[in-house]
Amino acid sequence: MHGSSRHGSPRPVAKGGPSPAAGPADAQHLSALLEPVVSARGMDLETVRITAVGRRRLLRVVVDADGGVSLDDITLISRALSDELDASGGMGEAPYTLEVTSPGVDRPLTEPRHWRRAAGRLVRATLAPRSASRTENPGRSATIEGRVLAAGPTGVLLEVAGEQREFGYAELGPGKILLEFTRAVSGADGGRSDGH
């Protein structure tokens, strides 16, 4: 989900504020500026990225929350972030576009909250070398695939091949949610299982 706001010329930057040029320092400054606005609405600020698009800049803000983020949430947080950026002059005088979005399933699971929000999902992660030595291929990059049963502050519980296994976050590289597709079950006569 995403929303966007277009801005012409926000208020001028206060002396000592970020320059109109987009760079890594700007993203860090904007993260610090916008994080309190996002957390006040019960969400987490995942990433802030600034890219040049012609004469404008694109400010992409990714937010997430337990239970997901709805389109209404995106609309409300977009307005709040826009108001903060205009009031602070955080984007300088150059025109920019604000895009607020939620993370997709391709977002790597790198934080405990990411793993917690993936509960019930099938995931794959690379094992750290020490953990990989417990598998059949010691010394090689091994991966683990399983369903997230629970995730806490120090580790995650996965169901792997019918067994529950616990891993500390230090044992796992970034996780990836795997897409699962289900097929309709057909009856013995080749028809659908509902008899039609």
Q: What tens-digit pLDDT sequence spans the chain (196 residues)?
A: 545 444 443 333 333 334 444 444 488 999 999 999 999 999 999 999 999 888 889 999 999 998 888 999 999 999 999 999 999 988 888 889 999 999 887 888 999 999 999 999 999 999 987 654 455 555 556 999 999 999 999 999 999 999 999 999 999 999 999 988 875 555 544 444 444 4
CATH topology assigned to domain 2-101: Alpha-Beta Plaits (3.30.70)
What are the sequence ranges of the domains in the chain? 2-101, 112-177
CA distance linking residue 77 with residue 101, whole number of Å: 10
Q: Which of 128, 130, 165 is nearest to 145 (CA)?
A: 165
Give the Cα separation of 186 and 195 in Å (integer): 9
The dotted CATH code for 112-177 is 2.30.30.100
Q: Answer yes or no: pTM beyond 0.85.
A: no
Q: Which are the contacts of 53, defined by CB distance < 8 A and separation ≥ 6?
A: 97
